[in-house]
Amino acid sequence: MRITGDYVPPPSKSYTHRALVAAALADGESRVENPLISDDTLATVNAIESMGPRLLRDGDSIIARPSALSPPGDVVNCGESGTTIRFMASLASLTSGGYTILTGGPRLRERPMGPLLDALSQLGVRAESARGDGRPPLIVRGGGMPGGSAEIAASESSQYVSSILLSAPRSRDGVELRVSGMVSRTYVDATLSVMEAFGARYERSGYERFAVEPGGYRPTTFAVPGDYSSAAYPMALVAAVGGSLAVRGLGDLPQADAEIVRVLESMGASVRRIGHGDVVVESRGSLRGGEFDLRDSPDLLPVVAVLGLLASGRTVIRGIAHTRLKESDRPAALVEEIRRIGGSAALGDDWLEVEELRSPRDAVVDDHGDHRIFMAFAVASAALGGRFALARSRSYTKSYPGFIEDMMHLGLEIY
């Protein structure tokens, strides 16, 4: 099997969340062009609208009509979106008063939020975990974010930092954040790009200190780029089976998962940039294993692990401790499913080792309710000629509702 074609990935989930928050906080009407419409971004739309601003569909855009933020009339259900609940925790402090209760699905209620709540408290916000264990449901008191200086440990998630940064322009005194041990750092660059586009003023020293001035956001038009995290699946497939794929519209804003380009290149594929934000992946279909550090691009773990199955030799992936805290315990889920299909994998605290899959077994893979596990094994199954099946699941609608359709468009039967 070889794949040749043109492919337009869905819009970036991370940029959609960020642009919606900044647009809702701006002092006038903004337009977010090419937003991702998926379970997670709709959770953000609903959460923001529950506090007053209107986010209206207009063709391929969302028009944001900001208003003073008021406490929601009901609990806010963030579904399974970590980005949503974490971004909303800071936003809720900007409501006029009362309390906002943020909750979500079963897995989201297991995911940690403690360091974010702690940093918000240092900034004068009352933000607590209902069960006192740092996990949702969260209760946030409105009345404004006084601001000042806070220290935050971000070794579990960069979203703690992005959350505070995004709401900080609307704080009373401005915010200084001193950050230690941050993972997934490129996501904070994405946050700052959006803040800049909406006219916020800040200073930074690397990934250790950020100072945001009060002054709010200016309304603007923001175009969401294509999503490297989603594009990584068809790119990996083409690299593994051979062929040539032009990927359009990825843009040149910072995206953590643009790291897939370096991974594919070092495994033996060629990736060329053609013009503004387009890339072409070319491969003869024989990849070799390698060693990768995914500390700053954790969402690539499932697809890189699957590439390890499809490449010769051994692949070692480091910097993955924080991927245990996502939609599933991803390293554990990957090892279980790799073994189920006849592969061999070993796991340490912060690393995963995968061997080339020589004799795949007929099996039905369980996605553990995790969109990225589903999409990664769909790639593996397609590359191995449909050797194993995936238990029916719609987990992919979290970030990529058109996944099955797009894969079929590339000529694959993955169901």
Ligand X SMILES: C=C(OP(=O)(O)O)C(=O)O
Ligand Y SMILES: O=C(O)C1=C[C@@H](OP(=O)(O)O)[C@@H](O)[C@H](O)C1
Residues that bind ligand Y (CB under 6 A): 14, 83, 157-159, 162, 183-184, 187, 298-299, 322
Measured distance CA(320)–CA(292) in Å, rounded? 10
Of ligand X, ligand Y, none, which one sits near residue 297, judging by CB under 5 to 8 A according to partner kind? Answer: none
For residue 186, state whether it binds ligand X (rule: CB under 6 A): no
Measured distance CA(77)–CA(90) in Å, rounded? 16
Confirm or deny that 288 is annotated as ligand binding: no
Rounded-to-5 percentages of helix, strand, coil across the chain: 35, 25, 40
Q: What is the 3-state secondary structure (H, E, C) of 52-79?
A: CCEEEEECCEEEEECCCCCCCCCCEECC
Confirm or deny that 398 is annotated as ligand binding: yes
Q: Are 218 and 194 in contact (CB under 8 A)?
A: no
CB burial string 370-397: b at 16+ within 10 A, e below: bbbbbbbbbbbbbbbeebbebeebebbb
Residue in the shown chain whose Cβ atom is closest to ligand X:
82
Of 395-414, which residues contact ligand X (CB under 6 A)? 399
For residue 162, state whether it binds ligand X (rule: CB under 6 A): no
Could you give the residue numbers annotated as active site? 299
> What is the end-to-end Cα distance of the chain in Å, rounded?
17
Confirm or deny that 318 is annotated as ligand binding: no
Calculate Rg over the CA atoms of the chain.
Answer: 21
One-letter identity of residue 18: R
Confirm or deny that 111 is annotated as ligand binding: yes
Among 61, 81, 162, 191, binds ligand X (CB under 6 A): 81
The contact mask relative to ligand X for 288-307 (x = CB under 6 A, - = no) is -----------x--------
Q: Which of 214, 217, 169, 209 is nearest to 188 (CA)?
A: 209
- The 8-class DSSP code of residue 26 comes to B
Q: Is the CB of 327 or the CB of 353 nearer to ligand X?
A: 327
Shortest reach from residue 352's CB to ligand Y, in Å: 16
Of ligand X, ligand Y, none, which one sits near residue 81, judging by CB under 5 to 8 A according to partner kind? Answer: ligand X
Total length of the chain: 415
One-letter identity of residue 281: V
| Binding residues with ligand X: total (CB under 6 A) | 9
Confirm or deny that 114 is annotated as ligand binding: no
Q: Is the CB of 76 or the CB of 269 nearer to ligand X?
A: 76
Of ligand Y, ligand X, none, which one sits near residue 322, judging by CB under 5 to 8 A according to partner kind? Answer: ligand Y
Among 18, 109, 185, 326, binds ligand X (CB under 6 A): 326
Of 24-63, which residues contact ligand X (CB under 6 A)? 40
For the range 190-193, what are the long-range contacts, defined as Cβ-Cβ under 8 Å and sequence gap of 24 or more? 190/14, 190/15, 190/18, 190/162, 190/253, 190/254, 190/255, 190/256, 191/18, 191/161, 191/162, 191/165, 191/166, 192/165, 193/253, 193/254
For residue 255, state whether it binds ligand X (rule: CB under 6 A): no
Dihedral angle, C-alpha 358, 362, 366, 370, nearest 10 °:
50
The contact mask relative to ligand X for 357-386 (x = CB under 6 A, - = no) is ---------------x--------------
Of ligand X, ligand Y, none, which one sits near residue 184, judging by CB under 5 to 8 A according to partner kind? Answer: ligand Y
Among 82, 226, 254, 319, binds ligand X (CB under 6 A): 82
Is the bond preceding 137 in cis, omega lying within 30 degrees of 0? yes
Among 30, 38, 83, 220, binds ligand X (CB under 6 A): 83
Shortest reach from residue 327's CB to ligand X, in Å: 6
For residue 112, state whether it binds ligand X (rule: CB under 6 A): no
Confirm or deny that 31 is annotated as ligand binding: no
Could you list the residues known to form a binding site for 3-phosphoshikimate, using ranges. 13-14, 18, 157-159, 299, 326
Could you list the residues known to form a binding site for phosphoenolpyruvate, using ranges. 13, 82, 111, 159, 330, 372, 398
| Contact residues: ligand X, CB under 6 A | 40, 81-83, 299, 326-327, 372, 399
